[in-house]
Structure 1
């Protein structure tokens, strides 16, 4: 059985205020054409269909058109909600859509009710686990802790129990939206930390033949049977070196997995340039970036006059400009933004407490900070889902 595994469409998202609507339309055209050309048995979409809980109408129209075309091809589609989606909104009409072969899985309580597909070797049970916000679903699953590993583990226990009750030889596929240990994040994923911990162990997917993951935007292989497709488009300059693609997965008669990467259309390459203004303007080696979306970081000791206008003459598609004077040129301290880069909200809060009070928070105080951030995330998820 052949699957096309994709995720993290983020329909409605822009790139530094540049609309990606045409690029997203080109990707969906490519997806439908690939599904037809490769004669896949199903399309798997592992969450973050939209970029926000209430997407713009243009994004909804793109989504609607893609589903109609997949349904017309007769290609079943299994899709879960991600942490950017409103599960309730995405799941509206799921029952009716299911009759057309579009299977939306947005309710955590139904994670152990698979979409059953069949080929000449028997059944394949496809389970959709929507994004599980720990504080909101802990009671549903009776999890011991309100963290990602506990709730996803409890959900997978339900999946394994259902699978054990099915005929011997039933193959299994799971869609999930999570940060699995070993995955490499980028700057464009929303933080899903809960209880100070966001990663879950790959072992949580034991006993299933293939786990189609979403959330991380770089295509990557956690193991031969656990993979991220990554986002089809770049959504931050941190994805400069990503090769955007989908997985074409073949599930053999005994559940063996073979996977091939299929590239997706690239609207424009990305380039991150760093140096003094005169060097960026004069270096002939940078000519290859004139057609790219450019992020420039200037290291001049003094801010040049109208640098954006000068850079735009050479790089017409420059989108971002930052200033980080070289510390060796008379600037002993890095910028505040640079000091915070790569740190979580909780770490920033702990640093602030230490700065104001003169000592770092103790374990009890760190636990209070974690609980406060978890409560904010849970409330945000709850209100976005309403």
Structure 2
């Protein structure tokens, strides 16, 4: 069975004030062409369909058009909500859409029913697991010990009672350990929302969403499709793609990344104002410019936009800015919250926290983080 794995469309997203809707329409059209070329039996969309819980009207219309085009191709579509989506809004009309082969994860109510397709090698069961936090899972499993995201997801997977004699596919939107991050993802400080990859070992393929770089996450059959577009400067070196998955006999999975070509790329330029303004042609790509001039250039950003109309951000890299960075210092972006609090406690009290205080703070931090997400 051939699947096309997509994720993190983020329809309606704005980056540094620039609407991505035109670029998203372009890339969805390209994905339809890829579908016509490679003829998958099913398309998987692993969450973050929209960029916010109440998406703009244009984003909803664009996704509606995309689903209609998929339905016209007589495909099965498997869709879940991500952390940026409203699970209730994404699931609206899911029972009606079933008749058109559009399978949407409902709001989680303690169980996930498989959707089973067949091919020459037998059955393939799809399990649609929307973005979940421990607070979503605990009410349905009061006797389970659920302290973190791994416990929650393991409890959900164990409750599925998988038939391991057939091929099983999970569609999931979570941060799975072992994957590399980029700048546009919203993750918990210190990885509090991480799910251990071992949780998904019973599945033949796990179609992941949440991280924007296409990659494996703990195994060949556990993969992020990545976002179809670059949604931050930090993603400028990523090669965007869709993931083509061929499920053969039980235990046989082949993966191929099909590259995507955006309408506008995302890039970074570094140099003096004079050198950057010497460009002969207008650059339509989204870009960040780092000026190396020792003196600030008056009205530099507006003047640069004459040649770089989609300039998203400008900064300086010179003696002054480097000395400021040296004075301010830098902290690892994923420092554990408990470590940060211990530093503050010791600075204020002149002594370290004891084990009882540390245990209490760990519980409190986990509770606060879970409630805020």
Q: What is the TM-score normalised by the length of structure 1?
A: 0.85
Encode CA deviations 1:257-308: one digit per residue, 9 max, x unaligned.
01111122312222223455456556x8xx8993432212345555332221
The verdict on how the C-alpha distance between 1:18 and 1:353 changes in structure 2, with shifts beyond 3 A counting, is farther
Contact 1:237 1:295 in 2 (8 A): yes
Shift of 1:379: 4.1
The verdict on how the C-alpha distance between 1:41 and 1:48 changes in structure 2, with shifts beyond 3 A counting, is same
The verdict on how the C-alpha distance between 1:317 and 1:178 changes in structure 2, with shifts beyond 3 A counting, is same
Equivalent residue runs for 1:262-281 within 5 Å: 262-274=258-270, 277-278=273-274, 280-281=276-277
Shift of 1:332: 5.2
Of 237, 241, 252, the match for 1:241: 237
The verdict on how the C-alpha distance between 1:360 and 1:38 changes in structure 2, with shifts beyond 3 A counting, is farther
Contact 2:8 2:49 in 1 (8 A): yes
- 1:157 has 2:172 as partner: no
| SS of residue paired to 1:107 | coil
The verdict on how the C-alpha distance between 1:256 and 1:290 changes in structure 2, with shifts beyond 3 A counting, is same
Of 204, 207, 214, the match for 1:209: 204
Structure 1 unaligned spans of 5+: 382-386
d(CA) in 2 for partners of 1:40 and 1:233?
A: 21
Encode CA deviations 1:33-88: one digit per residue, 9 max, x unaligned.
32233221100111111111111111111111111121121101001111111111
Paired positions, count: 370
Structure-2 residue corresponding to 1:189: 185
| SS of residue paired to 2:198 | helix
Structure 2 unaligned spans of 5+: none
Contact 2:6 2:243 in 1 (8 A): yes
Encode CA deviations 1:136-186: one digit per residue, 9 max, x unaligned.
322324541331111111111123x1425xxx4x11111111111211111
Structure-1 residue corresponding to 2:286: 293
Mean Cα displacement is larger for which, 240-249 or 292-301? 292-301
Structure-2 residue corresponding to 1:306: 299
Contact 2:189 2:336 in 1 (8 A): no
d(CA) in 1 for partners of 2:355 and 2:326?
A: 29
d(CA) in 1 for partners of 2:200 and 2:90?
A: 25
Contact 2:26 2:262 in 1 (8 A): no
Encode CA deviations 1:87-142: one digit per residue, 9 max, x unaligned.
11111111111121111114333653111100122110011111111223223245
Let me know the Cα RMSD of the aligned residues: 3.0
Q: What is the TM-score normalised by the length of structure 2?
A: 0.87
The verdict on how the C-alpha distance between 1:242 and 1:135 changes in structure 2, with shifts beyond 3 A counting, is same
Structure-2 residue corresponding to 1:218: 213
- 1:320 has 2:320 as partner: no
Contact 1:324 1:335 in 2 (8 A): no
The verdict on how the C-alpha distance between 1:95 and 1:224 changes in structure 2, with shifts beyond 3 A counting, is same
Shift of 1:318: 1.5
Contact 1:145 1:151 in 2 (8 A): yes
Structure-2 residue corresponding to 1:112: 112
The verdict on how the C-alpha distance between 1:47 and 1:312 changes in structure 2, with shifts beyond 3 A counting, is same
Contact 2:282 2:307 in 1 (8 A): no
Shift of 1:349: 6.1
d(CA) in 1 for partners of 2:351 and 2:85?
A: 40
Encode CA deviations 1:206-243: one digit per residue, 9 max, x unaligned.
12111111100001123221111000011111101011
Contact 1:273 1:294 in 2 (8 A): yes
